[in-house]
Amino acid sequence: MKLILESWRRYLIEEQETLITKLRVFDFDDTLAHTVAKVKVVNAKTGKIKTLDSQQELDAYEETEGEELDFSEFKEVPGETKPIEKIIKIFRNMVEHPSKDRKVMIITARTSDAESEIEDYLENLDIDLGDVEIVGTEGESKSPYIKKELESFPSVNSFIMFDDSEKNLTDVREMMEEDFPNIKVELRRPKIEDGEVRVPIFKH
């Protein structure tokens, strides 16, 4: 009888464990929130500094010998950071969805120092982050981080990403086509058009 009860207990535990079938990834800057932080390009020889004023400028930047990218302004999330309500609503719905079959992440180009800052900022918006994981790539490509997650959850069959960077989305799409061709992919690039936030499907 004891063996039967133990077997039944294990069966109930296994049945309660929901497989992760959906992965949802959000960028932070200019996706979840408008930020005033800028990336600086520092010439190590001359000390000259220039500022990249948009994600498009950062995407187009080509590294020159002697130059270094400075992300120091991205270590904190200052008070003047404004939530992008349309994306925040989507994020909140995904995070607070009652189904346990999804994992929601924020993958940002910021340094790891900013992870707790982002967490505090979103919790101050009354978002229950629950099991949301926040990862800072320190300016590196996001593709390897997403690939690692998908390898950890082989049951995933649906992937959605929100990111304002064309480069990030292109890199991730190429990785998904090569390594995970059977997963349904939806890439969305938030943009402001005529003063309105739009979230079109990324097709480039």
| pLDDT the model gives residue 7 | 55
| pLDDT the model gives residue 54 | 60
| pLDDT the model gives residue 162 | 98
Rounded alpha-carbon distances, angstroms, from residue 23 to 95, 111, 155, 168, 185 = 11, 22, 10, 16, 10
| pLDDT the model gives residue 15 | 42
Q: What is the mean pLDDT of each run of 10 residues along the chain (204 residues)?
A: 52 59 96 80 73 65 70 72 94 91 94 91 93 91 96 97 94 97 96 84 83
Count CB-CB contacts under 10 A for residue 83. 17
Long-range Cβ contact pairs of 194-198 (< 8 A, separation 24 or more): 197/84, 197/85, 197/86, 197/87
| pLDDT the model gives residue 93 | 95
